[in-house]
Amino acid sequence: MGRFEDALAQPGLGAIAEIKRRSPSAGDLRPGADPAEIAPAYADAGAAAISVLVDERFGGTWDDLRAARSATAAPLLAKGFFSTAEHLRTAKEAGADAALLLLRDLDDTQVAALMAVGAELGLDTLVEAHDAEELDRGIALGARVLGVNARDLATFAIDRRSQLELVARIPADRIAIAESGIVTRAQGAAAELAGADAILVGSTLMRAPDPAAKLAELISRPLVKVCGLTREEDVAVAVESGADLVGFVLVPESPRAADTVLDVPDGVLSVAVWVGEAGESSADLDQVHTVEEGKVRGREAAVLREGEEVARLLDLPWEGTDPAHWAAAAAADGRVFLAGRLGPDNVRDAIAAVHPWAVDASSSLESSPGIKDHEKVRRYVEAARS
């Protein structure tokens, strides 16, 4: 396992932060970008690896890779349209730890040969697919690191839903990368929950006033969930405040029951809350609480994506207390959604004590059951994200 692959195999969601001055689809992004400045800033912000465009169509050259190598020890991915052994040798000599291979442009014999050349050079390869047929080819060829690009290179359109479906098909013993179209933390989290080990982000970072700060934001945790929403105006305030997830309780017995999952923007994840078993809804995720006799819901819940558990929600007993709640949550394995009377005044303490994957607040943000106090919502999200 090379340095690039090893960096992406670490626990949690990694990020390959990209340096590119322009995009064929979007035009100029950051024409004056200096790889020697941006690369170390990316590394300091938590990038697992750094991608450097070396193709002139993206405003890049091999000198950009050399400049990045001179400025950082982080693993570097050479990104371009490579088709020969000479391309890979040039990448290695310029300081790359890995090189991109596009299944769209190469047949199986070429990919296999280039992967072999890379192995001889000590150069990892990121084998990129755009559709199911290409992904199947990459899997069959034994590619260790497989990327799924959400962008159609012919039309430049983004299809994130199809991307996540393909990411979910990548075998667990490979490294899965979700590429392109990730603008928000929630979109990165959606890729993570689908099985991505890392996200590759370029245009979003290069457009930002501070690319490294934007990278740090995208991979920061915990995510912030506002639950118990029943009105469109409350959804709007949660989203505008910076919530990553919004929840809708589809349990008629609940005092904050919603009739349906309301529409949410593309950059936010919706969560349908159930008791006993999940029903049908348009939500991105299902939160299914255990059944407890005489209570509206049980204390714990499984968070499901496409019927598969991807996280656990740990809450207080219904209308009850538990002084050891935070300590027990801190000791839990896996991704934890922490709930239980969280609000503006205690969420920072909860995060410091538990280090959860997400925090979840509902009743403490209300003016009455099912009706959110907009100022409390804003203060809670701000506190959780600070």
**What does the pLDDT look like over 202-247, one tens digit per residue?**
999 999 999 999 999 999 999 999 999 999 999 999 999 999 999 9
Mean pLDDT of the chain: 95
Give all domains of the chain, ordered by start, each with its CATH number.
3-219 (3.20.20.70), 223-385 (3.20.20.70)
Angle between helices 62-71 and 35-45 (to 10 degrees): 50
111 contacts: CB under 8 Å, gap ≥ 6: 101, 103, 127, 137, 138, 141, 143
Q: Which two tokens mark 252?
A: 């008629």
pLDDT at 249 over 80: yes
- Alpha-helical segments (H) within 58-159: 62-71, 85-93, 108-121, 132-140
The pLDDT value recorded for residue 150 is 82
How confident is residue 284, by pLDDT bands cut at 50, 70 and 90?
very high
Instruction: Give, in degrees to the nearest 5, the angle at Cα 299 between 296 and 300.
Output: 125
pLDDT at 160 over 90: no
- Whether residue 313 contacts residue 300, with contact meaning beta carbons closer than 8 Å, is answered with yes
Calculate mean pLDDT across residues 108-135.
Answer: 97
- Whether residue 332 contacts residue 358, with contact meaning beta carbons closer than 8 Å, is answered with no
Among 17-26, 91-100, 273-282, 294-303, the minimum mean pLDDT is found in 17-26
By CB atoms closer than 10 A (0-12, 13-18, 19+), residue 147 is buried
Calpha distance 116→118 (Å, rounded): 5
Spatial CA neighbour of 126 closest among 4, 43, 39: 4
User: Prior bond to 222 cis, omega within 30?
Assistant: yes
The pLDDT value recorded for residue 59 is 83
How confident is residue 328, by pLDDT bands cut at 50, 70 and 90?
very high
Calculate mean pLDDT across residues 167-194.
Answer: 96
Residue 300, SS3? Answer: strand
Spatial CA neighbour of 13 closest among 154, 149, 193: 193
Q: Which two tokens mark 22?
A: 């322009």
Percent of all residues in the chain with a pLDDT value above 90, rounded to a whole number: 90
211 contacts: CB under 8 Å, gap ≥ 6: 17, 30, 38, 41, 42, 205
Q: What region does 377 belong to: left with phi over 0, alpha with psi -120 to 50, or beta?
A: alpha
pLDDT at 155 over 80: no
How confident is residue 181, by pLDDT bands cut at 50, 70 and 90?
confident
Calpha distance 210→47 (Å, rounded): 14
The alpha carbon of 86 is separated from its chain's Cα centroid by a whole number of angstroms, namely 34
**What does the pLDDT look like over 329-385, one tens digit per residue?**
999 999 999 999 999 999 999 999 999 999 999 999 999 999 999 999 999 999 999
Calpha distance 63→53 (Å, rounded): 10
Calculate mean pLDDT across residues 268-275.
Answer: 98
Calculate mean pLDDT across residues 147-162.
Answer: 80
DSSP state of 149: E
What amino acid is encoded at 167 in this protein? Answer: V
Note the pTM of the prediction, 2 decimals. 0.95
Percent of all residues in the chain with a pLDDT value above 70, rounded to a whole number: 99
What amino acid is encoded at 82 in this protein? Answer: F
Spatial CA neighbour of 310 closest among 183, 178, 164, 145: 164
- Whether residue 16 contacts residue 47, with contact meaning beta carbons closer than 8 Å, is answered with yes
How confident is residue 153, by pLDDT bands cut at 50, 70 and 90?
low
The pLDDT value recorded for residue 56 is 85
Residue 271, SS3? Answer: strand
Calculate mean pLDDT across residues 69-96.
Answer: 98
How many CA atoms does the CB half-sphere of 269 hold within 13 Å?
Answer: 30
DSSP state of 56: G
